[in-house]
Chain A
Amino acid sequence: MSASERPQHGRLVVKLVAIVVGMFGFGFALVPLYDVFCDITGINGKTENTAAVYDGVTVDTSRTVTVEFITRTNSGMPWEFTVETRRVDVHPGEMAQVNFFARNPASRDIVGQAVPSVSPGQAALFLNKTECFCFNHQPLAAGAEAVMPMKFYVDPQLPEDIRFFTVQYTLYDVTASVADVAMNQG
């Protein structure tokens, strides 16, 4: 085939490279997409990261929901982490408070971060927290301890078939990544 009749490959190559670049971007776009998708459907059991407002919520006394709490620490996190009660029974719409306790037995100051996970995941959408220690980093000096309250109500819209759900908090040691953040909480 002579050079003059050689087909032009350039345009096709450009298109294919565009697909490659687009798909590389798509890989990263999956991260926010995943979060948005899980936010809407609640399927990964993540709760809101900001405080809910308790205002004009009617209490549905016709049914009771059992909320169970599990505390655990990530490996390498030395804190003792417990909750005052393993489970509470609430009516949807009713405010409740649960206290969590943390003690730092290590000889160094540590900043903790609690990450909640709700199971079954759909219930996460209906767990409204007006106050939670998981909204902020929790610094504890060596040997110190703290009471960490969590106030919540269950949205009355909670599907009828969910009568029981579990909230698990995992404490992570985030000292290294927030080393530059001053201790602003007691």
Chain B
Amino acid sequence: MSTATEHAHDDHHHHMPTGIKRWIFTTNHKDIGTLYLWFAFIMFLVGGAMAMVIRAELFQPGLQIVEPNFFNQMTTVHGLIMVFGAVMPAFTGLANWLVPMMIGAPDMALPRMNNWSFWILPFAFIILLASLFMEGGGPAFGWTFYAPLSTTYSGDSTALFVFSVHIMGISSIMGAINVIVTIWNMRAPGMTWMKMPLFVWTWLITAFLLIAVMPVLAGAVTMVLTDKFFGTSFFDAAGGGDPVMFQHIFWFFGHPEVYIMILPAFGIISQIVPTFSRKKLFGYASMVYATTSIALLSFIVWAHHMFTTGMPVAAELFFMIATMLISVPTGVKVFNWVATMWRGSLTFEVPMLFALAFIVLFTIGGLSGLMLAITPVDFQYHDTYFVVAHFHYVLVSGAVFSIMAAVYYWLPKWTGKMFDVTLAKWHFWCSLISVNVLFFPMHFIGLAGMPRRIPDYALQFADFNKWISIGGFAFGLSQLIFLAVVIKACRKQGEPVSDQVWEGAEGLEWEIPSPAPYHTFETPPVVK
């Protein structure tokens, strides 16, 4: 498809500082990508530890280990960390590493801003985590911070929560601007729009979603802040405001946000499946259009999170139908992946295993989403474990699995060595089994009526919860295998790999040497 005309050799470029200073002052997209990925991994483990607290408490009915208020802080901060600290920075890290290499650019367009967007992120999370140790505890109102929980019934730490969300938002907005400018202006000659790898396409669209909705989130937290501390009444009925309006504003951000967390995953899967099927991606153009329509539709479905707030029937019908419409382009994608594999020469290397698990498990999550989209039945499912099952299928066995697939796929390119395949397979199979033990029974207890976000539950849910907790601990432990694989890989243990790494891999990033040199494509390649 294309050739790199030059393989960067850059010995004369190495005036860079060493040690910690290298990482603090770096403007290199590969360094920053690495920083993002490690940060995301650490946050994944921290948020995961909180999930372990939640599952330990729910192992048995009754209150055993933590106070209800602390339990609520755990569900809240677990959600915030996983969304804003793990999944989003991991995708940004992948974008940093891969987008310039895939479009034949020497670096991101705005390297200095890139450094800033990463380095403010740790502070956001230090603030958020520190708020847990304040008197009265950290935020306990759920990651969705509904008013009046976050305005009237919250503690003083709400100010810290608002501040840290602002910083996270600024970081992702800067990251998104950088991605857009890079893709817009820095494609190598010949890299036309419809030749761009799908990971680049999906990230471009994600970046537009980010700059469109992160500011709305910033507005929502600002209103919560002024309602709580400065006497405004945006969400306070006594002062003429409306608490339901909070939900409208939040979900106007929130639904596009869930697509921010899945579109790059679609891109990753669309890179991996063709490689290990040794075929071109089926329906490239339809993938691009499907992604675009998902992104556009995601702005008109937000109220499917609010079916039970007492909307008029016409609005419920509108949001129900619009939501179901989204499954059409989503179905197109799943169809295209399967069609790509059809009659391909499949092999099952670790990235492909994760990609296949993604396709199956994400689809299960999409189907439970469709059930939730049916307004009358959502009255039963809303705020139960069924919703928890739905979004963990799309986010854990969806987004998180795709990130793992991506790491296994590109790690040899980054380090120049093949990772420990045996350990990685252990990681895969342990994760695959435990993730289902963890999340599948949640469908049943949800349908049976167990509400979400509670530290205690009725006795009839005890057996299922025990299994769920066992699955949870197993899934948590399995991720330590992942940690081991990645650490071994970073220590450059393993067999050296070729430039192409995977037989069947296509694209500019596979034409540069392995490990990828510090500077690549200083003279742009020509894409034919």
Contact = CB atoms under 8 A, between A and B. Distances in A.
B231 A177 contact: yes
Contacts of A28: 219, 223
A34 B238 CA distance: 17
Interface string A103-133: 0000000000101000111100000000000
Given A7-B186, A13-B110, A27 B215 contact: yes
Interface string B27-46: 00000000000000000000
A12 interface: yes
B19 interface: no
A12 B237 contact: no
B433 interface: no
B212 A23 contact: yes
B249 A30 contact: yes
Contacts of B106: 1
A-B pairs, 10 with minimum CB distance: A27-B219, A172-B238, A24-B215, A23-B215, A27-B216, A7-B185, A115-B237, A16-B177, A9-B181, A43-B312
Interface in B238-294: 238-240, 242, 244-245, 248-249, 252
B211 A74 contact: no
Given A43-B315, A170-B237, A174-B238, A21 B215 contact: yes
Interface in A6-23: 7-9, 12-13, 16-17, 19-23
A41 B313 CA distance: 13
A49 B244 CA distance: 19
A26 interface: yes
B464 interface: no
Interface of B: 106, 109-110, 173, 177, 180-181, 184-186, 211-220, 223, 231, 234, 237-240, 242, 244-245, 248-249, 252, 310-312, 315, 522-524
A71 interface: no
Contacts of B312: 41, 43, 120-122
Interface in A133-186: 170, 172-174, 177
A13 B177 contact: yes
B218 A34 contact: no
B218 A27 contact: yes
A82 interface: no
A7 B181 CA distance: 10
Nearest to A122: B312
A19 B524 contact: no
Given A7-B185, A19-B211, A43 B524 contact: no
Contact of A34 (B109, B184, B219, B245): B245
22 contacts: A1-B106, A7-B185, A9-B109, A9-B181, A12-B180, A12-B184, A16-B180, A19-B211, A19-B212, A20-B177, A20-B211, A23-B216, A26-B216, A27-B218, A27-B252, A41-B312, A74-B238, A113-B239, A170-B237, A172-B238, A174-B238, A177-B238
Contacts of A3: none
A140 to B, nearest CB: 15
A107 to B, nearest CB: 22
A31 interface: yes
A149 to B, nearest CB: 21
Contacts of A26: 215-216, 219
Nearest to A43: B312
Contacts of A8: 185
Nearest to A28: B219
Contact of B248 (A1, A20, A34, A173): A34
Contacts of B223: 28, 31
Contacts of B181: 9, 12-13, 16
B218 A1 contact: no
A20 B211 CA distance: 6
A177 B239 contact: yes
B197 to A, nearest CB: 20
B190 to A, nearest CB: 15
Contacts of B238: 74, 113, 115, 172-174, 177
Nearest to B110: A9
Contact of A17 (B177, B185, B214, B248): B177
A138 to B, nearest CB: 12
Contacts of A177: 231, 238-239
A62 to B, nearest CB: 26
Contacts of B234: 31
Contacts of B523: 1
A29 to B, nearest CB: 9
Residue with the greatest number of chain B CB neighbours at <10 A, chosen from A7, A31, A74: A31
Contacts of A44: 242, 244
Contacts of B216: 23-24, 26-27, 30
A27 B220 contact: yes
A30 B231 CA distance: 19
Contacts of A23: 211-216
Nearest to B180: A16
Contacts of A27: 215-220, 249, 252
Contacts of B184: 12
B525 to A, nearest CB: 12
B303 to A, nearest CB: 11
B147 to A, nearest CB: 12
A90 B219 CA distance: 45
Residue with the greatest number of chain A CB neighbours at <10 A, chosen from B215, B217, B234: B215
Contacts of B180: 12, 16
Given A12-B180, A26-B216, A27-B218, 17 more contacts: A1-B524, A7-B186, A9-B110, A13-B110, A20-B177, A20-B211, A27-B217, A28-B219, A28-B223, A30-B219, A31-B249, A43-B312, A44-B244, A45-B310, A113-B238, A170-B237, A174-B238
Contacts of B242: 34, 38, 44, 46
A173 B238 CA distance: 8
Nearest to B523: A1
Nearest to A23: B215
Given A31-B245, A34-B242, A121-B310, A20 B237 contact: no
A118 to B, nearest CB: 11
A19 B215 CA distance: 9
